[in-house]
Structure 1
């Protein structure tokens, strides 16, 4: 099985990075293929609502010259998608918001590609506002019919300076537990994925 962690922070080696690595450790130990994809600081345009993904249904976004289609291809292949972000003005980074808007739309246009995948949100926060960022990511998972595992707390880690989150013992323990829960859930649902109910793509107007 394959777990993809997407880092929406532009700070490599920062708090979000450390949290995602901790989530992936139990998955590696369980024999999963794991990958962390650096999205923060990269060029990712926002959705233009051109509706071409609904016309073409070719698993791609027509917007070119950015990182989106490369990351989306990995998301389609993944059994588990972990999206991490720092908290910017009580929400996700611009790169993660662009990813949510475009990936969610392209997946829905192609018969709900994310349905049955495991989705987990991870948020680094200095003090407040992390829950809204956490909710923003989970909105993508829920409308996509993904399966969201719980953990010992909301998936927040507290820290401002680089690697300061490592001092948040409770937060880091939660990240480890989250990884363990994803590994258990993946093992439980994998034999049944072929029977996951399919839906016809549709979009309402107005």
Structure 2
């Protein structure tokens, strides 16, 4: 592989503990009891609006448009105030990124998380230097699983002439599997992330449960 592009949440980092912290504060603001971490983890997927809606349904918060808009803003305010207080890298991530960088393999990041949040998280976790291009969920008119975010990331890597068949996309979810399917690169599926569907139901080139295995696969 001549380039590797990564998803962020559920792939490189476990951000659910900080999302859980923001949910605790949101519910406290509304006089509601907090939901536990496994519940919030089960709600994660398809963006903050969906997460807040699921929290609202579980705690009998109003679901009308004005209320949801207010709750989303409050959730994001709480989350942005503590983006990495509880967030951790998955085991082996930094060693893998270091090895790929040392081998001269261009790396990019393609996530549906907003770009400003993504860049802040990368800076706070000392990860920004690994990635030649970062595309967030609001960087383009399209979001994953559309092909454009991944292809735009790839076009900025290396000499700018890398083809899709020279790229490996690494993700953890149904959205990532579909992104790889429509965009066309090989897909490495991280089995320990936020996927809801059975592993075997998602098309992938390679699956792994520890980043040591991904490092060996890419550098083989």
TM-score if structure 2 supplies the norm length? Answer: 0.33
